[in-house]
With several copies, the nearest count.
Chain A
Amino acid sequence: MTLTAEPSDAAEPGLPDEPLHRRLGVTDEELAAIRDRLGGRAPNDLELAMFSVMWSEHCSYKSSRPLLRTLPTGSAADGVVAGPGENAGVIAIGDGLAIAFKIESHNHPSAVEPTQGAATGVGGILRDIFTMGARPIAVLDALRFGDPADARTRHLVEGVVRGVGGYGNCVGVPTVGGELVFDPSYAGNPLVNVMAIGLLELDDLTLASAPGAGNHVVLFGSTTGRDGIGGASVLASATFGVEDGSKRPSVQVGDPFAEKLLIEASLELIRAGLVAGLQDLGAGGITCGTSETADRAGTGMRIELAVIPRREPGMDPFEVMISESQERMVAVVEPERWNAVRAVCERWGLPVAIIGTVTDDGDLTVVDEDGAELARIPASALTSDAIVHERVAAAPLRRRAAPAPGAPATASDGLPERGMDPGAVLTALLGSANLSSRRPVFEQYDSTVQANTVVGPGHGAAIVRIKGTTKALVASTDANHAVGAIDPWLGAALSVAEATRNVAITGARPLGVTNCLNYGDPTRPEAFWQLTEGVRGLADACRALGLPVTGGNVSLYNESPTGAIAPTPEIGVVGLLDDVATRVDPAWQAPGDRVILVGETTPGLAGSAYAELAGLAAEDGPPSLDLERERRLQAFIREAAARGLLASAQDVSGGGLAVTLAECALWGDGDRGLGARLRVSVASSAAVDLFGESPSRIVVSATPRHVAALVLLARQHGLPIEDLGEVTARPDDGTQARLAVELHGSGATGSAEDRGSRIADALIVGLDELRHAWEGGLSRALGWEQR
């Protein structure tokens, strides 16, 4: 057999006259390891193609597997029913119900074709969820791009958002949250990470395994075409080169309509107990779906190539075996259930075929029409026994300074030094590309379909009720790349802290963590060190907060000729509210309520939005994180919420305390806005207190009669607490409400007299100005028409 059509005329990293394995991205060392697993025999071309996709970074986790073993994965005591290794993590939530959730990247496909790349990313993660027997009930999209003023970025943003929306809207799963972040490090390599959450009855839990020799292997869903050939190996495992524009592998096109039918048919098959195992086909196509399910069950499979339904004539065996055509599933079906399975698929208008048989020999065997063997590979060699590389990690010799693009390096308290009006700084931050309202984006996503959305995108963590119960799920995604670029351990730990805090401030109990590790080329020691540190930060934070990591995804080689991305450990958290009626909102509720800061403000502006805007001192570092304090803070806020002491709660994150206060004000009273009259004590510098992003802080509001109880509760948790002032009524004279923050304390005036005289001693700004900045910031940054 020869490979007549190249797996992708483009995708081979090497030169055309190189041996086939290298052209498929398989190293000489890996080829030797493949021979080992074939009992010393050389693979034929089809087998080599199958190994090349399965031993790609994307499918095999060959660089990251040893690291991932260090993560805390929880136990039945945490409610964990399925952990890493399954299509999605599953956690029981009582009432016989469970949630399945996971986050996954589609970075490289989205860089090539943003709309289809993002769309198929949504499709892929949804399949992971319903393959487990869960109905997808929510999607969150975490997106990262380069400079929003850049034409290429704008094209990517437009396309990715269209892709996420176009797919999610059509399949009828609400997109309830996410992130949109701009940073120059993503210019050549955008990040598209999508998280999905599903709800299932525990009885319906279905695993991706292929038990029972003699069972049918059934393929249903779309037909198999040439699209996405070699996508896994090529797209996810190779650094983007300059010349990629001309050498593009085939693009996968998503069909959300077919996915919707696939969801309904799959869930119907599962509920009727018609399948013994179910696996979606994603990266690695049929090769991956069959070898993984067989390996998990300790069985083998014999696949009859000729009966696989195709979209095009003349496809080569390797094309059929590694095609990444979307919207396909493999089911393992007992022969007596086949007719029922076929009936369900046909009712939903989906092509369905028996493509093979489960065997007991442990091999994945591919045969042609005449029964001649085209390939025979131990299933384990393609999956659990795939090669693992011990990569070299090395910290950079010199610590990096925080990236502050185009900003002048000035003292970290540059704000008072330069006599800047803190109100103007706040307005600039709120109107900035990263902190302004994401409304222009999330309004393109159906966030309400299924009639469960209690809080959609835009106001902190998303809240989705569980119909028929008083419960609700609370979800957030976060990643701190800016600190991660300076200290990858800290960046990862901060990401976990923020994502869990976002969930906890609603009063919910975080249940578990999923993560998408977006890093650079693991063969580069510094990049591998970043990954190592990131995993350590993730593990440390999850242990400290007592949370299991139930799944995730690793995306490496996120580099372009302009450099590697900032390390980006995207963290997805799902929490549970036992009674949705007790949820706490971030918005201020009523005039007269007290505004209270819980937690300690610590120095360090590196990695903050303020530093990006105003510059920072060369010696300044990022703020520190005390995971034990974070744990106490989250325990405090949950208890305060449970006891009904809170009118509102919002955490301090991007843009610092001032931005948090502005959000509470703008969203106050059903988005009509509520002002406040506050005093903030400044310890070292106004910039740190107003705009610093030191973690583990929450702004709450409460009716005056609950303040004493809150103070006591904070003391009991060993947390500092400061009453900042009160929420004010809207002026009756029709003038706009204002946010007024007076600064006092030693740092407010500074030590030198002349310095003190130039310090603005108050932040006073009207909500109309703030709202204008906040609402229009993103459209202005992207050059979108405002409406």
Chain B
Amino acid sequence: MATRFAVNVRPKDGILDPQGRAVEGSLGHLGIEGVSAVRVGRRVELTVEAADEPAARAVVERLASELLSNPLIEAYDVEVLGAASSLESSSAGAAPPAAESASGTPA
């Protein structure tokens, strides 16, 4: 069974986010108002082939905590995007709407 996941990684609270600050700084030039608290992180989408969803999720959690995020400075959450045939997903462009989402912070 192939499932497509997204891992959202963001700077932890209290960690300065210069990219977010840069976005906020350029809002003026664009004439945009009312935007605040911009945080820039990463989003990694991937397809996992596993026996069942819990098994797939375990793989994603491991990847997210060991590779995709640095627990010292980043927090992450995992979204299930839905079932995916691996072939289809390899050219997945726009993500299917989020089907489910769960937050997690690495231990």
Direct contact of A and B (CB under 8 A): yes
B15 touches A313 (CB 8 A): no
Interface bits A236-261 vs B (CB < 8 Å: 1, else 0): 00000000000010110101011000
Nearest CB in chain A to that of B71: its residue: A248
State the Cβ distance, B11 to closest chain A Cβ, in Å: 8
**In the assembled complex, A349 has its CB within 8 A of some CB on chain B:** yes
By beta carbon, the residue of chain B nearest A159 is B70
* Closest A residue to B17 using CB positions: A253
Please measure, in the bound complex, the distance between the C-alpha atom of A225 and the C-alpha atom of B25, giving whole angstroms.
Answer: 18
Q: Which residue of A lies closest to B22 (CB)?
A: A257
B72 to chain A, nearest CB (A): 5
Are B73 and A313 closer than 8 Å at their CB atoms?
no
* Bound-state Cα–Cα, A735 to B91, Å: 50
Q: Is B14 an interface residue (CB 8 A)?
A: yes
Q: Which residues on the B side are within 8 Å of A258 (C-beta)?
A: 18
When C-beta atoms are compared, the residue in chain A nearest to B73 turns out to be A251
A112 / chain B contacts, CB cutoff of 8 Å: 72
Asked whether any CB of chain A lies closer than 8 Å to the CB of B44, the reply is: no
Known contacts A112-B72, A116-B73, A312-B91, A251 near B15 by CB under 8 Å: yes
Chain B 68-97, CB-CB to A under 8 Å as 1, else 0, gives 001011000000000000010001000000
Contact with A along B14-36 (1 / 0, CB 8 A): 11101001100100010000000
**Cα-based distance from A325 to B15 in the complex (angstroms):** 10
Are A226 and B16 closer than 8 Å at their CB atoms? no
Q: Which residues of B contact A775 (CB under 8 A)?
A: none
Please tell me if A113 contacts chain B, counting CB pairs below 8 Å.
Answer: yes
Name B91's closest neighbour in chain A (CB-CB): A312
- Considering the complex, give the chain A residue whose CB is closest to the CB of B70: A113
Residues of B within 8 A of A255 (CB): 16, 18, 21
Contact of B72 among A251, A313, A325, A349 (CB under 8 A): A251
Inter-chain contacts of A325 with B (CB < 8 A): 16
Question: Across the interface, which residues of B come within 8 angstroms of A250, CB to CB?
Answer: 14
The verdict on A313 contacting B16 (CB below 8 Å), with A248-B72, A257-B22 known, is: no
**Chain B residues in 8 Å Cβ range of A225:** 14, 16
Q: How far apart sit A195 and B91, CA to CA, in the bound complex (Å)?
A: 36
Question: When the two chains form their complex, are residues B16 and A113 in contact, meaning their CB atoms are under 8 A apart?
Answer: no
Task: Give Cα A255–Cα B17 distance, bound, in whole angstroms.
Answer: 8
Chain B residue at minimal CB-CB distance from A115:
B70
Taking CB atoms, residues of chain A closer than 8 Å to B87 are 313
Chain A nearest CB, measured from B60 CB (Å): 21
Contact indicator A253/B91 (Cβ below 8 Å) = no
Asked if A253 and B25 sit within 8 Å, CB to CB, the answer is no
In the assembled complex, the Cα of A226 lies from the Cα of B13 at a distance in Å of: 10
Known contacts: A113-B72, A113-B73, A248-B72. The answer to whether A253 contacts B16 by CB under 8 A is: yes
Q: Is the CB of A227 within 8 A of B91?
A: no
B42 to chain A, nearest CB (A): 14
- Residues in A with CB closer than 8 Å to B72 are 112-113, 248, 251
Cβ proximity bits A86-130 to B, threshold 8 Å, 1 near / 0 not? 000000000000000000000000001100100000000000000
* Distance between Cα atoms of A255 and B22 in the complex (Å): 10
CA distance A312 to B90 in the complex (A): 9
By beta carbon, the residue of chain A nearest B107 is A246
Which residue from chain B places its CB closest to the CB of A255 in the assembled complex? B18
Report Cα–Cα, A253/B12, bound state, in Å.
11
Is A311 part of the contact surface with B, judged by Cβ < 8 Å? yes
Within the complex, which residue of A151, A248, A312 is in contact with B14, where a contact is CB–CB below 8 Å? A312
B16 touches which of A151, A248, A311, A349 (Cβ 8 Å): A311
Residues in B1-59 with C-beta less than 8 Å from chain A: 11, 13-16, 18, 21-22, 25, 29
* Nearest-CB residue, chain A, relative to B11: A253
Contacts of A694 in B (CB 8 A): none
Interface size on A, as a range, is 20 to 34
**Cβ 8 A contact of B73, one of A253, A257, A312, A326:** A253
Check if A589 is an interface residue, CB within 8 A of chain B: no
* Complexed CA–CA distance, A253 and B17 (Å): 8
Is A222's CB within 8 Å of the partner chain B? yes
A222 contacts which of B14, B16, B25, B29 (Cβ < 8 Å)? B16
Contact residues in A for B70 (Cβ distance below 8 Å) = 113
Separation in Å of the B85 CB from the closest CB of chain A?
A: 13
Residues from chain B with Cβ under 8 Å of A251 in the complex: 15, 72-73
Query: In the complex, A116→B22 CA distance in Å?
Result: 18
Q: Is the CB of A257 within 8 A of B14?
A: no
When the two chains form their complex, are residues A227 and B22 in contact, meaning their CB atoms are under 8 A apart?
A: no
The CA-CA distance from A311 to B14 in the complex, in Å, is 8
Distance A325 CA – B16 CA, assembled complex (angstroms): 9
How far is B15's CA from A405's CA once the two chains are assembled, in angstroms?
A: 41
Cα A225 to Cα B70 in complex, Å, equals 20
CA distance A326 to B21 in the complex (A): 15
B47 nearest CB across to chain A (Å) = 15
Chain B: minimal CB distance from A108 (Å): 14
Chain B residues whose CB sits within 8 angstroms of the CB of A253 once the complex forms? 11, 15-16, 18, 73
With A251-B73, A312-B91, A313-B91: A227-B18 Cβ-Cβ less than 8 Å: no
Interface hits, A269-328 → B, CB 8 Å: 311-313, 325-326
Q: Which residues of A contact B15 (CB under 8 A)?
A: 227, 251, 253
**A116 to B91 CA separation, bound complex (whole angstroms):** 21
Q: Shortest beta-carbon distance, A79 to chain B, in Å?
A: 39
Q: How far in angstroms is the closest Cβ of chain A from B100?
A: 29
Report how far A313 CA is from B91 CA in the complex, Å: 9
Find chain B residues with CB under 8 A from A227 CB: 14-16
Partner among B18, B25, B91 whose Cβ is within 8 Å of the Cβ of A349: B25
A181 to B70, CA, bound (A): 26
Closest to A116 in B: B73
- State the CA gap A28–B15 with chains docked (Å): 34
Interface residues of A in 211-229 (CB under 8 A from B): 222, 225-227
Tell me the minimal C-beta distance from A162 to chain B in angstroms.
12
Residues of A within 8 A of B91 (CB): 312-313
Q: Which residue, B11, B16, B22, B25, has most C-beta atoms of chain A within 10 A? A: B16
Taken together as a complex, chains A and B put the C-alpha atoms of A255 and B21 apart, in Å, by 10
Minimum C-beta distance from A263 to chain B (A) = 16
- A248: B residues at CB distance < 8 A: 72
Q: How far is it, in angstroms, between the C-alpha of A258 and the C-alpha of B14 when the chains are bound?
A: 17
A226-B14 contact in complex given A312-B91, A313-B91, C-beta closer than 8 Å: yes
Chain A contacts for B21, CB-based, 8 A: 255
A159 → B minimal CB distance (Å): 9
A258 to B91, CA, bound (A): 21
Bound-state Cα–Cα, A325 to B11, Å:
15
Q: Please name the residue on chain B nearest to A151 by beta carbon.
A: B29
Q: How far is the CA of A222 from the CA of B87 in the complex (A)?
A: 20
Bound together, the chains give a CA A248 to CA B71 distance in angstroms of 11
Between A and B, 18 residue pairs with Cβ closer than 8 Å are A113-B72, A116-B73, A225-B14, A225-B16, A227-B14, A227-B15, A227-B16, A248-B72, A250-B14, A251-B72, A253-B18, A255-B16, A255-B18, A257-B18, A312-B14, A312-B91, A325-B16, A326-B16
In the A-B complex, the 10 residue pairs with the smallest Cβ-Cβ separation, listed nearest first, are A255-B18, A253-B16, A226-B14, A251-B72, A113-B72, A251-B73, A253-B15, A312-B14, A225-B14, A257-B18
**A227-B14, A258-B18 are known contacts; what are 19 more A-B pairs with Cβ within 8 Å?**
A112-B72, A113-B72, A225-B16, A227-B15, A227-B16, A250-B14, A251-B15, A251-B72, A253-B11, A253-B15, A253-B18, A253-B73, A255-B16, A311-B16, A312-B13, A312-B14, A325-B16, A326-B16, A349-B25
